[in-house]
Amino acid sequence: MDISPYRVQPDSTVDLSSWDTRGDDDLVKDDAKDETEILSKRLDELQEVLYAEEKHKVLVVLQATDTGGKDSTIRSVFGPLNPQGVVVTPFGKPTEAELAHDYLWRVHPHTPGSGMISVFNRSHYEDVLVVRVHGLVPEDRWRRRYEHIRNFEQLLVDEGTTIVKLYLHLSKQEQAERLQDRLDNPEKLWKFRLGDLEERKKWDDYQAAFTEMMERTSTADAPWYVVPADRKWFRNRVVHQIMVDTLEGLDMAYPEAEEDVTGVVVLER
């Protein structure tokens, strides 16, 4: 699968209404699941080399509307990996201590160390999304944050971090169906909040915020990918491909033994 059509090119204009939320209808579901299983095994292999080599750092940023599938993407893509090498950080409503500092203060400590994959479930981008839509700070203040974020991410890249940013692109109709499913399913009812319906009324405002977010912060070193998310199996296929291509591009290798083991035999054969 060629992932380039899903990548937002730097300085490009984004029209989310023209980006497909379903994905390629020529791709058969069963074939996609088979391919995803193969990619999942390959991703597991690559993550082991990443962890062993302790040379590279990978940051994955996940953003989406409510019900967009961030949690299930994390389970499907990163759940099978060695948990010693993957850290998932959810960013919810800031605490009082976090609000007393600059908005990036709570983010930086969770960026990946050498050999690690860090996954942000929501992220520093909430400060140009929900903050913008709800008017939590003046416009001139949140608009300055695009440059802050670009500079912050460039700092991480310059210090050896590979950044992958995934926007899970959901249609308004699919969101309605998922919200209704939460209401109807006793096992999913715990996820439902009445506030979700209030947020849904701001759909157009959020689409505008996501659009500008990607236009202003998709760079050559920290690109955004718009992932069709209406069909979970297609979403998983695309995200697996993005992650495998990204890690293969790091040209990793297992490290040499730290000591000379020439002639060492543990078991006589």
Cβ contacts of residue 258 below 8 Å, gap of 6+? Answer: none
Picking from 5, 3, 8, 61, the residue whose alpha carbon sits closest to that of residue 211 is 8
Question: No. of H helices and E strands in the chain?
Answer: 9, 6
| Rounded average pLDDT over 237-254 | 97
Whether the predicted pLDDT of 269 surpasses 80: no
- What does the pLDDT read at residue 139? 97
**Whole-angstrom distance, CA of residue 183 vs CA of residue 175:** 13
Distances in whole angstroms, Cα of residue 19 to Cα of each of 77, 171, 207, 226, 231 = 23, 10, 12, 8, 14
Edge to edge, what strands does the sheet with 117-121 contain? 7-8, 224-228, 161-169, 57-64, 117-121, 86-90
**What's the mean pLDDT when you consider all of the chain?**
96
If one compares 259 and 3, the residue with the highest pLDDT of the two is 3
| pLDDT classification of 186: cutoffs 50, 70, 90 | very high
261 pLDDT higher than 90? no
pLDDT: which is higher, 20 or 257: 20
Q: What is the pLDDT of residues 31-85, one digit of tens each?
A: 999 999 999 999 999 999 999 999 999 999 999 999 999 999 999 999 999 999 9
Query: Which among 92, 63, 7 has a CA at the least distance from the CA of 213?
Result: 63
Q: Where would I find the H helices in the chain?
A: 29-53, 70-73, 96-99, 130-133, 139-158, 172-184, 194-200, 203-217, 232-248
Q: What is the pLDDT of residues 91-141, one digit of tens each?
A: 999 999 999 999 999 999 999 999 999 999 999 999 999 999 999 999 999
Q: Which two tokens stand for residue 88?
A: 């998932």
Mean pLDDT of 10-19: 95
Report the distance separating Cα 263 and Cα 219, nearest Å: 50
Res 258: pLDDT:
84
What's the rounded Cα separation, in Å, for the pair 184 and 172?
19
| CA dist., res. 123 & res. 61, Å (int) | 7
pLDDT in tens, 158-177: 999 999 999 999 999 999 99
Give pTM, 2 decimals: 0.95
Give the model's pLDDT for residue 150.
98
Residue predicted with more confidence, 269 or 62: 62
Domains of the chain in sequence order: 4-248 (3.40.50.300)
C-alpha 134/C-alpha 19 separation (Å) is 25
Taking alpha carbons only, the member of 58, 53, 10 closest to residue 243 is: 58
* Average confidence (pLDDT) over 248-268: 90
Q: Alpha-carbon distance 90 to 229, whole Å?
A: 20
The radius of gyration computed from the CA coordinates of the chain, to the nearest angstrom, equals 20
Q: Is the pLDDT of residue 227 over 90?
A: yes
CA dist., res. 156 & res. 220, Å (int) = 14
pLDDT recorded at residue 96: 96
The position carrying tokens 């302790």 is 54
User: What percentage of the chain carries pLDDT values higher than 70?
Assistant: 100
